[in-house]
A and B are shown apart, each in its own frame.
Chain A
Amino acid sequence: MEWSVYVQRSMNKAAAAESEKKLPRRRSLVERCPYLYVLPATLMFVGLVAYPILWVIGESFRGASGKDFVGFSQYVRAFSDPVFWRVLLNMFYWGAITIPVQMVLGGSIAYLIERHTSRSRTFFRVMFFLPVVTSVSVVSIVWAQMYAPYYGIVQEYLKYIGVQLTIAPLGEPSIAIFALILVNIWQWTGFSMIMYIAGINSIPSELFDAALIDGAHGWNLAIRIVVPLLSPVTRSLLLLGVIGTLQTFPIVHLMTGGGPDHASEIFGTYIFKQGFVIGDSGYSSALSVLALFLALALSVLQIAVLGSRLSPQTRRPAT
């Protein structure tokens, strides 16, 4: 067992180092107060995250001028604001489409790469991940160009097979959000892929061997054996996907600005518009708090229903 040999060796080293120490052992600070391990992360959270959140909550009880206290009226306003409901709908579309599609695509690509390539594996792993590290500015301009019916490259090449785009996907209120969703999928599938690659690689090969001996191969193997084993990865991706959906901002802002006429408005763009363009920081803060609550509620719901084991590894040794 290479792995536990390695650990055994380091433990022996530790034990040896221990016995070489002069007596009596000095108990370092962290031994006396183990909560010091927790301190740095907590401190940073309290100072740089908790305080801003509280600030935002405080702001959400103010009126447009930022000076008067108006209680819950900004929240009430949100619920009677048609744009708010449009935002919720768009966020629902966004999450409901990007998360499963990215999982299925990412997972399939990961499976193909990990189990059916050897020499080209690194190449594929790197290339599919490229969009994830590509900056949003370029993604937005490039895709805006690609979507343009007049001079876009998609149009240019579609010409050869006789298809003429008559609409601009980004300019049609009913389609804009889906056009944006496609761009998001293009960019982030590589992330799901990486997580699944890690997951697939951590399935002990005995399990594969045993399944193959039992007669499962190809499709059967994939669906009946591998997918369930990857469920922790899937759960992670679901959790991160929900959170990430609610946090989307630059891609929509740069491509459509939330338009036309709020057709592709999402939380990020609406909060930005209200807070920075119109200057009503009370309303934008209320929207932020609502987004935060939604994320919290959905995460708690997911953990309660699906369980919280998020590790991609199954490290229990076979028998």
Chain B
Amino acid sequence: MTAAGRNVSAGRRIVGSAFAKRHQLRPSFGFYAKIILTVLLALWMIPEVYMVSVSLRPPDKSFDPSLFVLPITFDNFATVIHDNPLLRFFWNSLVITIGTVLVVLVAGSMFAYAASVLRLKKTMLIYIILLTTLMVPVASIVLPLAIMLKSFDWINSYQGLVLPYAALGIPYAIVIIKAFMDDSPRDLFEAAMIDGCTTLQMFFHVALPLVKPALIFVAIWQFIVTWNEFFLALVVMTDSEHKTVTLVPMQYSGMYMANPGALFAILVIIALPLILLYIFVQRYFIAGLLSGAVKG
């Protein structure tokens, strides 16, 4: 093997960028890249820093035009926690969000499987029709959905939000999962069929593992979208036992109760689980992708 060839096979095991850095002819661009990223990030984060800063301010300084104001106070957080049964709202949000994610994953992957692997007839047609879901403005369907849900007596119930959310989220999940399934080598499935797998076994043991990154991506995305959703939650959850956490902020931005510190405090609290979740899960996400990317 030539020297170049030896380098290539060594390079296979290493993630692209480390290899690139080591073998670049100029001094590492990585240094400049980091500077650019840091400056960009600093500017990008100004609104976020402002949000946290306002949540820590006393009311007389809420709208002071500076990023940081001392002294900081945790009163706003105390107010928000005191005023609202936050635990209950968090629980509601959690149940609904996780429920939605599960329904979307199950129904979406099953459909993608049928369309991509099993290639059932007419599924492509249904697939395209399903895509129209994505194009409907939510404000337009709030009214008919409310009427439907009322007729099933699903107002103020978990399924009253989980099922509409899932229905709205499944098409996007199908697009992503199907794309990954489309890209999987046909021969694996053919081999499984020859070996006598049932479609169900093939689904669980071949198809799903192959698209694990897609599943994780869909799960994270659906979690974020569902957690932050507001309009439908407003209309479906009208009594306080069932409200989700996204309905709390409106109490603090209303006409007479102007309390921006509390508003920002609750918004920080709402955003935290998402951020923590994302930090935690993105490792798996990237790990999943990498295990698929490295071939040698």
Classify A-B as touching or not with yes or no (CB < 8 A): yes
Q: Which residues of A contact B (CB under 8 A)?
A: 1-4, 6-7, 10-11, 13-15, 17-18, 25, 27-28, 30-31, 34-35, 37-38, 40-42, 44-45, 47-49, 51-53, 55-56, 109, 112-118, 120, 122, 124-139, 141-143, 145-146, 151-153, 155-156, 186, 197-198, 200-206, 208-210, 212-213, 217-218, 232, 236, 243, 246-247, 249-250, 267-268, 271-272, 275-276, 281, 284-285, 288, 291-292, 295-296, 299, 309-315, 317-318
Q: C-beta contact mask, B10-38 vs A, less than 8 Å → 1, else 0? A: 01101111111101111011100110110
**Nearest-CB residue, chain A, relative to B13:** A205
Cβ–Cβ contact A1 & B141, under 8 A: no
C-alpha spacing A52/B195, complex, angstroms: 45
Residues of B within 8 A of A271 (CB): 137, 139-140
Contacts of B228 in A (CB 8 A): 133, 135-136
Q: Is B284 an interface residue (CB 8 A)?
A: no
B81 located at the interface, meaning its Cβ lies under 8 Å from any Cβ of chain A in the complex: no
Task: Give the residue name and chain of the A residue nearest to B106 (CB).
Answer: A40
Complex interface residues of chain B between 265 and 296 (CB less than 8 A to chain A): 267, 270-271, 274-275, 278-279, 282-283, 286, 289-296
Q: At the interface, yes or no: B174 with Cβ under 8 Å from chain A?
A: yes
- Give the chain A neighbours of B133 by CB distance below 8 A: 45, 49
In the assembled complex, the Cα of A156 lies from the Cα of B171 at a distance in Å of: 45
Contact of B263 with A by CB under 8 A: yes
Contact between A38 and B274, CB atoms less than 8 A apart: no
Interface residue? B262 (CB, 8 A): no
B130 within 8 A of A: yes
The CA of A131 and the CA of B49, in the complex, are separated in Å by 11
Q: Is B123 a contact partner of A275 (Cβ separation < 8 A)?
A: no
Q: Given B14, B167, B195, which contacts A45 in the complex, CB threshold below 8 Å?
A: B167
Q: Can you list 30 A-B contacts (CB < 8 A)?
A: A6-B209, A6-B291, A11-B191, A15-B195, A31-B200, A37-B110, A38-B111, A41-B107, A41-B110, A44-B167, A48-B164, A49-B141, A49-B167, A116-B33, A117-B17, A117-B37, A125-B282, A126-B278, A129-B278, A130-B48, A146-B46, A151-B64, A197-B286, A201-B290, A203-B293, A209-B8, A288-B136, A311-B180, A313-B183, A315-B185
Q: Of all chain B residues, which has the CB nearest A217?
A: B24
The complex places the Cα of A313 from the Cα of B19 at a distance, in Å, of 21
Q: Which residues of A contact B290 (CB under 8 A)?
A: 201
Q: Is the CB of B12 within 8 A of A205?
A: yes
Known interface pairs A52-B144, A218-B29. Does A14 touch B201 (Cβ–Cβ under 8 Å)?
A: yes
Q: Which of B34, B164, B264, B289 contacts A120 (CB 8 A)?
A: B34
Contact A288 B47 (CB under 8 A): no
User: What residues of chain B lie closer than 8 Å to A243, measured between beta carbons?
Assistant: 134-135
Partner of B168, one of A17, A18, A49, A311: A49
| B132 near A292: Cβ-Cβ < 8 Å | yes
- Given contacts A296-B135, A311-B182, are A128 and B44 in contact (CB under 8 A)? yes
